[in-house]
Structure 1
Amino acid sequence: MQKYNSVSGKVIYQLKEIVGDKYVYTDNEKMEPYSHDEVAGSEYMQYPEVVVLPETAEQIAAIVRLANENIIPIVPRGAGTGLSCAAVPFLRGIVVSVERLNKIIELDTTNMFIVVEPGVTTDYIQKTANASGFLYAGDPSSGDSSFIGGNVATNAGGNKAVKYGTTRRQIYGLEFVSPQGKIITLGGKCVKDTTGYNLFQLLIGSEGTLGIITKIYIKLIPLPEHSMNLLAIFPDLVSAIQTVPKIMSAGVAPVSVEFMDNLVVQNCEDFLREKLPHSDDGYYIIVQIEGNNEEVLEDQCVTIDEICMASGAITVLVADSSKIWKARKCVAEADRARSLIFASEDLVVPMSAVSQAVQKVVEIGKKYGVRVHCAGHAGDGNVHANILKEDIPEDKWHEIVPQSAKIY
């Protein structure tokens, strides 16, 4: 492993010269939020030696060059909403936060793209696009707090990936600072660019290991005129999940197909303090469809209703969009309110194997006497399994957590 140097007083002085005294943190109280992401537990956190808040790509480039000269590790950081510890500075060194790079640079409705800095929240991009009659299709559940830079760096999926794909399919180009401290632009405003290697796609999902993203060129699409959300409620997990492939192959092209097991439904109801349908016994499949022809959408609703009822659904409801998505998107927050510490597993299987994967997770929970909450993006085979610590003793918890690997 590379031998790194500590951050010296001289380096801290030079960092202040680059960004200003106000934007260099060295005391633990200010650095604490930058020592972890959303994963709780002391083993998943590490204080950096210094946190720097640059405002421009040029400042980031200068910081990277300074770190290279002094052989000091750097960890770029977005909003810290991730659950994979990608933003945790386990080698200490310098954390470079992009929170001050938070501007929308350009909105081009003629060519249907938006150019933003990495510290803009996903939700703000969506609202800005919507206000002009367009849609940014990226929709992670943490969109109200996650930064678009983090979405790109992790190739975030989200609730609309079934129809529109993950983040990489929404990106036309990137500006980034290379590990050598150079500012590079790959791709850009052209929809079609088939010359040479598609290098900017390598950065998407690289979690900051190949460069620090400083500008993002994002695809927009016309905002559909109509949208409907159906809530299919099933008496058991298996019948709920096994309905999903039938919906996906029925020609209705859903935007989202999500699932929530009954423990998740009950926990979200308690957290939100809002009554949810059949919370005592229901397993949820949420299907969102959209389009410009209301009659076609109504026909698709009938098709989905017939499929679900034939597959054993208790009922199929036209859901209140705000209420049902509020419940779906609060799953992790509700779990944290119930148990500050939980192990979060994020697995992907073929769509036909989602039921088997979830049953395996539930079996592990029963075997070790832990509460397991399962939800996720059933339409593309993505299962989120949160294993809650609650009041389990520390020694037993540290024995249980490694067992979650058996899920895979």
Structure 2
Amino acid sequence: MNATSTTPTRQSEATPFALPARSLEGVGKRPFGIYIHVPFCATRCGYCDFNTYTAGELGTSASPQSWLEGLRRELDLAAEMTGAPAAKTVFVGGGTPSLLGGDGLSDVLSAVRSSFGLASGAEVTTESNPESTSPEFFDALRSAGFTRISLGMQSAAQHVLKILDRTHTPGRAVAAAKEARAAGFSHVNLDLIYGTPGERDQDLDASLDAVLSADVDHVSAYALIVEDGTAMARKVRRGELPAPDDDVLASRYERIDSRLSEAGLHWYEVSNWAKAETADSGDTRCRHNLGYWDGGDWWGAGPGAHSHVGGVRWWNVKHPARYAEQLALGELPVGGSEDLTAEDEHMERVMLTARLRTGLPLSELSASERLSAEQVVVDGLAVIENDHVVLTDRGRLLADAVIRTILT
């Protein structure tokens, strides 16, 4: 199958948005989550291309209050359209959600409760910048009903943080993780970025030492990608910074996997590691992200947020002012959508499940794709476990190439 052979049916923002009846069939029976996008940041990091805005960039056109009012309206409209299935997971991302403070994030979760409600045992996560957290902040989140914290650490090396334009001090992320655990959060994640220009082996080792000292149950580690349009991309283009080196990135990934595995954190997705589940800890993996990877449904609320329900994907307008304006008129702030074909959904299923430790089911592959998968196994990039194609250690380094091979 040619991975680029189909073009989804697209709907422009000029067309009022409505989900077809077929996409609503089974809503609530499949995993259903809510993603909340907080578009505010104190400063703009040089590598970031997310839909975020500083106060200076927004001026008086939008505020956290107008955003929250819009968010409540969007969630109410979303619940009306979908039949309000109880959310099994909630993930507040950004941007910098912790800039809202404990009270602001409590208001966000209250808006989810009043529109969709939370399923029993729901996972409720918020991202946080270590510098905008405190013991009181974590206490407030715990009281509000949050169950999981994800902290942006990136690196323990000051000069690496400076290149990334991160404002937190190297030790603050570990301190924040310990404060979150002291507040009663058993599920705490630390994010790392590796391969930043100027990062040395000893810098990565220091970062891993710091992560392990925090005793968290989940770690995400992402290779630096220089995105077009970012300040970092301009520096690389001008020769002020070298581009990330693929061989260095591979070596760093292997080092991360080795250190985390030795410490009892095992990969369950190419860029994510978690401690083993126990009777006390429950599932330590990020259940919200597993919903994405396993083909579940989710409603993404907030400026620029993406959603997927029953084979229909859509995204909101990006600017917070326009987002609030459309909702004030009683309209969903949809900027565009696409109706996925069966071939599109199959391609995405292969792309996502192949990256999981549980692997890609052979039953979902066509005859030609199975032959391609067999070649991947012969090449040592995957093995067959319980009728699933599972990436080997070397295959994880070449995951994108493995997926292309299977799909073409």
Q: TM-score, normalised by structure 2?
A: 0.24
With CA pairs under 8 Å and 6+ residues apart, which has the higher RCO, 1 or 2? 2
TM-score (norm 1): 0.24
